[in-house]
């Protein structure tokens, strides 16, 4: 049963050192505010999981909180490299980072397998690809019915999943609209989940194609308006492209990166996200 909590309390209650954790959101609804709170609380030795990790993982890894990244493609969307991730891999700064790289299809299927309580995902994939040469967790099996060679990867079962959503009702049910990515599957696969959201409403007023996560699938709910910024929340605010462009310059230098994190994350609070809402409320 989900509890309404402050973001600080939800992170303290649900994420521990050494946990595996997913911060999911594809293009929009990326849970930046939640990730910043994790950074402020200084969690260590995390295994980060995400399809297409972007700026938020650059920040977590650059602050030395992660020991491993399970992912499919990593980059600053529309801009280029994740410079802090690259520095960790190439130069072990601020600490070494283990990589487990998959295709998008493998990650999506692995989340679905985790949500279904299965030990692995089986799918058509990796034929002609070479990721298996660098990732020993990619296996092949023979279908017992057709003899076809299929790919198999371990199911993803994060200790904690964080997502951002548009609305929650007073019973704790959550509405996600727009591009869904694997948010639903990541929540259902996790042992615990924390959802930040834009607006608390009496009625979700959902339509037939909406994604509703029932209250019993999550651990904590935290109202954080603007909590996806600089990504967008469909219907609430648009993507802040200037922020992504600026990040490429910030992250290029270690000292500049650390100074930015101190000013904008370590000494900030979730309320800073709420203060941006008036400027961000351009109808998407």
pLDDT digits (tens, 9 = 90+) for 77-88: 889 999 999 999
Instruction: Please give the average per-residue pLDDT across 87-91, as a whole number.
Output: 98
Is the pLDDT at 4 greater than 90? The verdict is: yes
Residue 61 parent element (H or E): helix 55-62
For 179-195, give one letter per residue: b (16+ CB within 10 A) or e. ebbbbbbbbbbbebbbb
**Beta strands 98-101 and 66-72: pairing type?**
parallel
Neighbours of 143 (CB within 10 A): 10
- The answer to whether 57 and 23 have CB atoms below 8 angstroms apart is yes
Render pLDDT for 22-39 as a digit per residue (tens, 0 to 9).
999 988 999 999 999 999
Would the pTM of this model clear 0.95, i.e. be above it? Answer: no
The domain ranges of the chain are 3-102+157-278
Quote the CA–CA distance of 232 and 238 in Å, as a whole number.
5
**Beta strands 220-223 and 3-4: pairing type?**
parallel
- The answer to whether 211 and 177 have CB atoms below 8 angstroms apart is yes
**Domain 3-102+157-278 has what CATH class?**
alpha beta
Render pLDDT for 201-246 as a digit per residue (tens, 0 to 9).
999 987 777 899 999 999 999 999 999 999 999 999 999 999 999 9
Instruction: Please give the average per-residue pLDDT across 107-126, as a whole number.
Output: 97
Render pLDDT for 29-65 as a digit per residue (tens, 0 to 9).
999 999 999 999 999 999 999 999 999 999 999 999 9
Write out the two tokens for 274. 């709420």
Query: Which residues on adjacent β-strands are paired with residue 140?
Result: 151
Residue 72 parent element (H or E): strand 66-72
Neighbours of 204 (CB within 10 A): 17
């Amino acid at each position: 049963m989900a509890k309404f909590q402050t973001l600080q309390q939800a992170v303290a209650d649900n994420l521990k050192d050494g946990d595996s954790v997913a911060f999911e959101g594809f293009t929009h609804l990326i849970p930046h505010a939640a990730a910043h709170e994790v950074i402020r609380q200084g969690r260590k030795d995390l295994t980060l999981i995400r399809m297409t990790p972007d700026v938020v993982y650059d920040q977590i890894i650059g602050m030395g909180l992660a020991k491993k990244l399970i992912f499919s493609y990593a980059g600053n969307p529309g801009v280029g490299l994740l410079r802090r991730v690259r520095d960790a891999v190439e130069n072990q700064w601020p600490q070494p980072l283990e990589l487990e790289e998959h295709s998008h299809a493998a990650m999506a299927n692995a989340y679905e397998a985790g949500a279904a309580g299965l030990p692995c995902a089986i799918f058509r994939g990796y034929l002609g690809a070479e990721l298996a040469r660098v990732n020993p967790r990619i296996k092949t099996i023979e279908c017992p019915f057709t003899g076809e060679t299929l790919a198999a990867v371990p199911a993803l079962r994060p200790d904690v999943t964080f997502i951002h959503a548009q609305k929650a009702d007073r019973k704790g049910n959550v509405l996600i609209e727009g591009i869904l990515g694997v948010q639903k599957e990541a929540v259902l696969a996790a042992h615990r989940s924390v959802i930040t959201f834009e607006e608390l409403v009496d009625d979700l007023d959902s339509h037939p194609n909406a994604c509703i996560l029932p209250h019993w699938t999550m651990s904590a709910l935290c109202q954080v308006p603007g909590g996806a910024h600089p990504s967008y929340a469909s219907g609430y605010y648009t993507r802040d492209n200037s922020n992504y462009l600026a990040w490429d310059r910030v992250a290029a230098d270690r000292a500049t990166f650390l100074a930015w994190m101190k000013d904008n994350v370590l000494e900030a609070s979730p309320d800073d996200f709420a203060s941006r809402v008036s400027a961000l409320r351009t109808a998407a």
